[in-house]
A and B are shown apart, each in its own frame.
Chain A
Amino acid sequence: MNRRNFIKKAGLITAGGLLVPSFLRAGAFSSQLLNSKKRLVVIQLSGGNDGLNAVVPYGLDAYYNNRSAIGIPAADLLKIDDKFGFHPQLKAFHDLEKRGLLSIINSVGYPNPNRSHFRSMDIWHTGSDANKYLQTGWIGRYLDNNCEQAHAGIQLGGSLSLAMKGNDLSGIALTNPKAFYDSIHSDFFDNLKSPASENEELNFLYKTFNDTKNSAEYIFDQYRLKANPTEYKGRLGQQLKQIATLIKSDIQTPVFYTELGGFDTHVNQLNSQVRLFEELNNGVESFIADLEKDDLLKETTVVVFSEFGRRLKENASRGTDHGAANVMFVIDSGLTRTAMTYNQIDLDDLEKGDPRYKVDFRSVYQELLQKTLNVDAKAVLNQEFKDLGLFG
């Protein structure tokens, strides 16, 4: 039996065995069902996070020279080394870094950076070159190649990111597993029978309809297996809590996706950043602690990204304008010590006022695909990128 057939069969077993509580199902998550070593949790910071005020290069004069109004004083920073320090709100990130669970990858970007939110986010979502347009996302292509059911990718939030859209299979976006279940399960829907038709579009719709019903039921069943009493703060926290609850249920979902918006800090950046980083920090702190409680961090990788960084030089409104290369975070229990070597930035090597990119963002995707999701990255990215060696 080849792998795909095996997965199909296994998928049927899952669909038929929806009522079997997860603890009765054999094996841990790393069952071959999804062939994945770990789950990937993506946190998207929308609007263009100012990486230079998140991981502050306080050791470089150029930072304070360009940011006299919004530069964060060295004394307030949570020091990483003699050159970098975290924004004071990012305590959890500081702790994770000290424990070797966080990799800071700085100067991440791509050639010919685009400064439109819209376009740059597309590039990050699809993993395309800056002059190419792809209709599918990088996670979507992973789903296409490796998964059978829409619940293989779950996004907490209103609408599905392009990153999660494949040709044949896309993930599911939902705000609440119960409401999503109810929206598509009712006597009316349950009585709708797939017609025997030669109309391929109609058959596609009924297949998607049935798949959606099955996935909604599966997600909701998993979600209510066990209450999660852990307290999380903030909207991002609530979404991460739902993700943690699902992970604890041993759900067969290799990729989760969530988003925090508001990072487009053109005006009075200091205040808004305190608020944004507080929310990010609280969410991630509770999430990691919650997973560690059940020893599930070892089966999870968290990645944090934004569509671009911001200009080195502050603007006249105590804010910053759209930039290019930026910082990315990867949280994982299997990082190598060399992971920190990617926290580098050269504020003298500027391209149109922005630090030039040193690491292609797809290098990071490549490692996540290979090491976390355990698949052939080239089949997803269509190119090979420099190996960063983030994971041991």
Chain B
Amino acid sequence: MKLTTRDKYHLHSRAEFFSNHQGLVKQDDLDKAVDAIFKAQNSTDLNMDLPKWNPDKNKKLSQKQKQELRKTWRKQVQELNYKWFQQMLCENHGLVEKMTLFWHGHFACNTKNNPYTTIELNNILRTNALGNFRDLLYGVSKSSAMIAYLHLRQNKKGKPNEDFARELCELFTLGRDVDYTEKDVTEIARAFTGWTTDAYGKHVVNPRQHDSGEKLIFGKSGNFSGEDVLEMILANPNCAKLIAQKVYRYFVAEKLNEQHVNELSNALFSSNYDITVMMKYLFKAEWFYQAQGKIVKSPIEFLVGIGKAFDLKFPDQKSHKRIQKYLGQVLFEPPNVAGWPGGRKWIDASRFALRLRLGSLVLNKGYIMDELSPELDAQISKKTKRKDLKFFEEVDWDAFWKRNKEASIFDLLIRNENPNLKSTYNSNDTKTIIRLLSTPDFQLT
């Protein structure tokens, strides 16, 4: 299959948030183009200068010092949020970062209070983002972030806590009530008893808390460990199927196509869980190109998309986090272990109104074409005067037009078909850009 220019915009948008015309993959052959994008990817770990983890010192802190420390930590996580977002904007990092974001929603864990576990988990997700799902699952299950979040530390011999066992089956691998029972959850919890971390966050199994008795799991009895359970789950093709379904909804279309999901699921399972094999299969499938403009952008996709298009700097950390909050997706703060529901759930009346205005707010002080009413102007300027709400950015338009001199602005920005809109807004100028950013169509990718 030969890619058209619109196909290329689509491929880049889905795979790495956005590409300007200049950055489009040069190859027209589908297979070659996809391989080229994968080959160009770089990956950079998330990092920041933190004092070396010192559990002995932290223990000795006074109540007040502990409070101060917690405050510092929360600030540091906010900084990490910002750093991660900046990484998403980097050229040739898009696919790795988008996959990392996908796994962040899948292995959802709220780490807003701890920069150490934030970095730990985020890098596990990134390192394995396009690697092997088995490694990813092991890495997450043994991370101090997840061990704390799903109460594995409280899961002790004789007093099992089922939180991790339940979410492992329901959300991370098999799917709700697929091939497991309540009884399995109870028994799986026993297999994971004793899983904890040492004072330095390293995973250990505490032999005194581990229940080494016989368990009956998935119809088999044995003296199963936690790792045995992970292997039993991975041996079930329905685990690959759940991942395929979620990947499909995230990268292809909101509405599942059973046949296409099975193809993805087979690619993952038969490659022994090689995520790259599945993702290349997806981007090389002709049906992927039939699904243009069929996904509602997540807030992060929306923001990274305009960031990459207009080379935005998002200079103010606090405002940036606030936009994420208003739009309903704050990095490191998924609503619960089920992650962000996504799709149409991103849109409610209030957020929609903001999303429709956001492009004009960032690029043009709120103006789309007409004058603002005094009330709206007051509300916008009241908000934008606030230190924590600096939206507006000066765009280097010359540079923008240089990046996109051969592009049709409509094709560059709008992923779905809408002939009427296209005929109304078909000129290549900044006014058209502001207007297209303010359409319902621009919410789609």
Q: A122-B335, A199-B293, A201-B294 are in contact. Are A186 and B110 (CB under 8 A)?
A: no
Q: In the complex the two chains form, what is the Cα distance from A211 to B378 in whole Å?
A: 25
Q: B22: CB under 8 A from chain A?
A: no
Chain A residues numbered 121-180 whose CB sits less than 8 Å from any CB in chain B: 122, 131, 133, 135, 150, 158-160, 162, 165, 170-176, 178-180
Instruction: Assess the A215–B349 pair: CB atoms within 8 A.
Output: yes
Q: In the complex the two chains form, what is the Cα distance from A150 to B356 in whole Å?
A: 17
Q: In the complex the two chains form, what is the Cα distance from A158 to B369 in whole Å?
A: 25
| Of A56-64, A190-198, A240-248, the one with at least 4 CB within 8 A of chain B | A190-198
Which of B166, B254, B350, B356 is close to A173, meaning CB atoms less than 8 Å apart? B350
Q: B205: CB under 8 A from chain A?
A: no
Chain B residues numbered 243-267 whose CB sits less than 8 Å from any CB in chain A: 254-255
| Of A101-109, A202-210, A274-282, A377-385, the one with at least 4 CB within 8 A of chain B | A202-210
* B21-50 to A contact mask, C-beta < 8 Å, 1/0: 000000000000000000000000000000
Q: Tell me, rounded to whole Å, the shortest Cβ–Cβ distance linking B205 to chain A.
A: 24
Q: A23: CB under 8 A from chain B?
A: no
Chain B residues numbered 110-124 whose CB sits less than 8 Å from any CB in chain A: 110
Instruction: Assess the B368–A188 pair: CB atoms within 8 A.
Output: yes
Which of B295, B376, B420, B435 is close to A183, meaning CB atoms less than 8 Å apart? B376
Q: A188-B370, A212-B352, A316-B63 are in contact. Are A201 and B293 (CB under 8 A)?
A: yes
| Of B129-137, B193-201, B336-344, the one with at least 4 CB within 8 A of chain A | B336-344
Q: Tell me, rounded to whole Å, the shortest Cβ–Cβ distance linking A48 to chain B.
A: 16
Instruction: Assess the A199–B326 pair: CB atoms within 8 A.
Output: no
Which of B166, B326, B335, B347 is close to A158, meaning CB atoms less than 8 Å apart? B326
CB-CB under 8 A from A215, the residues of chain B are 349
Q: Tell me, rounded to whole Å, the shortest Cβ–Cβ distance linking A27 to chain B.
A: 26
Q: Tell me, rounded to whole Å, the shortest Cβ–Cβ distance linking B167 to chain A.
A: 9
CB-CB under 8 A from A317, the residues of chain B are 63-64
Question: CB-nearest residue of chain A relative to B434?
Answer: A188
Instruction: Assess the A192–B439 pair: CB atoms within 8 A.
Output: yes
Instruction: Assess the A201–B344 pair: CB atoms within 8 A.
Output: yes
CB-CB under 8 A from A165, the residues of chain B are 345, 348
Chain A residues numbered 316-367 whose CB sits less than 8 Å from any CB in chain B: 316-317
Q: A187: CB under 8 A from chain B?
A: yes
CB-CB under 8 A from A316, the residues of chain B are 63
Q: Tell me, rounded to whole Å, the shortest Cβ–Cβ distance linking A177 to chain B.
A: 9
Instruction: Assess the B335–A184 pair: CB atoms within 8 A.
Output: no
CB-CB under 8 A from B294, the residues of chain A are 199-201
Instruction: Assess the B357–A183 pair: CB atoms within 8 A.
Output: yes
Q: In the complex the two chains form, what is the Cα distance from A349 to B67 in whole Å?
A: 30
CB-CB under 8 A from B379, the residues of chain A are 175-176, 179
Instruction: Assess the B293–A202 pair: CB atoms within 8 A.
Output: yes
Chain B residues numbered 151-199 whose CB sits less than 8 Å from any CB in chain A: 162-163, 166
Q: Tell me, rounded to whole Å, the shortest Cβ–Cβ distance linking B5 to chain A.
A: 20
Q: B441: CB under 8 A from chain A?
A: yes
Q: A376: CB under 8 A from chain B?
A: no
Q: B402: CB under 8 A from chain A?
A: no
CB-CB under 8 A from B254, the residues of chain A are 200-201
Which of A131, A179, A201 is close to B295, meaning CB atoms less than 8 Å apart? A201
Q: Tell me, rounded to whole Å, the shortest Cβ–Cβ distance linking A32 to chain B.
A: 25
Q: In the complex the two chains form, what is the Cα distance from A115 to B253 in whole Å?
A: 38
Q: A182: CB under 8 A from chain B?
A: yes
CB-CB under 8 A from A133, the residues of chain B are 336-338
Which of B162, B293, B326 is close to A159, meaning CB atoms less than 8 Å apart? B326
Question: CB-nearest residue of chain A relative to B438?
Answer: A188
Q: B307: CB under 8 A from chain A?
A: no
Q: In the complex the two chains form, what is the Cα distance from A184 to B444 in whole Å?
A: 18
Q: In the complex the two chains form, what is the Cα distance from A184 to B418 in whole Å?
A: 21
Which of A171, A200, A209 is close to B440, meaning CB atoms less than 8 Å apart? A209
Q: A9: CB under 8 A from chain B?
A: no
Q: In the complex the two chains form, what is the Cα distance from A199 to B352 in whole Å?
A: 18
Q: B375: CB under 8 A from chain A?
A: yes
- Name, among B293, B348, B352, B369, the residue most crowded by chain A CB atoms within 10 Å (CB to CB): B348
Q: Tell me, rounded to whole Å, the shortest Cβ–Cβ distance linking A310 to chain B.
A: 17
CB-CB under 8 A from B375, the residues of chain A are 176, 178-179, 182
Q: In the complex the two chains form, what is the Cα distance from A131 to B335 in whole Å?
A: 15
Q: A189: CB under 8 A from chain B?
A: yes
Instruction: Assess the A174–B350 pair: CB atoms within 8 A.
Output: yes
Question: CB-nearest residue of chain B relative to A194?
Answer: B440
Q: Tell me, rounded to whole Å, the shortest Cβ–Cβ distance linking B361 to chain A.
A: 10
Q: B313: CB under 8 A from chain A?
A: no
Q: Tell me, rounded to whole Å, the shortest Cβ–Cβ distance linking B301 to chain A.
A: 14
* B395-427 to A contact mask, C-beta < 8 Å, 1/0: 000000000000000000000111111000000
Q: B351: CB under 8 A from chain A?
A: yes
Q: Tell me, rounded to whole Å, the shortest Cβ–Cβ distance linking A138 to chain B.
A: 16
Q: What are 29 A-B pairs at a CB distance below 8 A?
A: A118-B110, A133-B336, A133-B338, A158-B326, A159-B326, A159-B351, A165-B345, A172-B348, A175-B379, A179-B375, A179-B378, A179-B379, A180-B353, A183-B354, A186-B368, A189-B368, A199-B293, A199-B417, A200-B254, A201-B444, A202-B293, A204-B347, A205-B296, A205-B444, A206-B440, A209-B356, A216-B349, A266-B67, A316-B63
**A residues in contact (CB < 8 Å) with B:** 118-119, 122, 131, 133, 135, 150, 158-160, 162, 165, 170-176, 178-180, 182-184, 186-189, 192-193, 195, 197, 199-202, 204-206, 208-209, 211-212, 215-216, 266, 316-317
**B residues in contact (CB < 8 Å) with A:** 63-64, 67, 110, 162-163, 166, 254-255, 293-296, 325-326, 328, 335-338, 341, 344-345, 347-354, 356-357, 368-370, 372-373, 375-376, 378-379, 416-421, 435, 438-441, 443-444
3 closest Cβ pairs, A-B complex: A205-B440, A182-B376, A182-B373
Known: A179-B378, A186-B369, A211-B349. 14 other contacts (CB 8 A): A135-B338, A159-B351, A176-B379, A178-B373, A178-B376, A180-B350, A183-B356, A193-B420, A195-B420, A201-B254, A201-B444, A202-B416, A202-B441, A205-B441
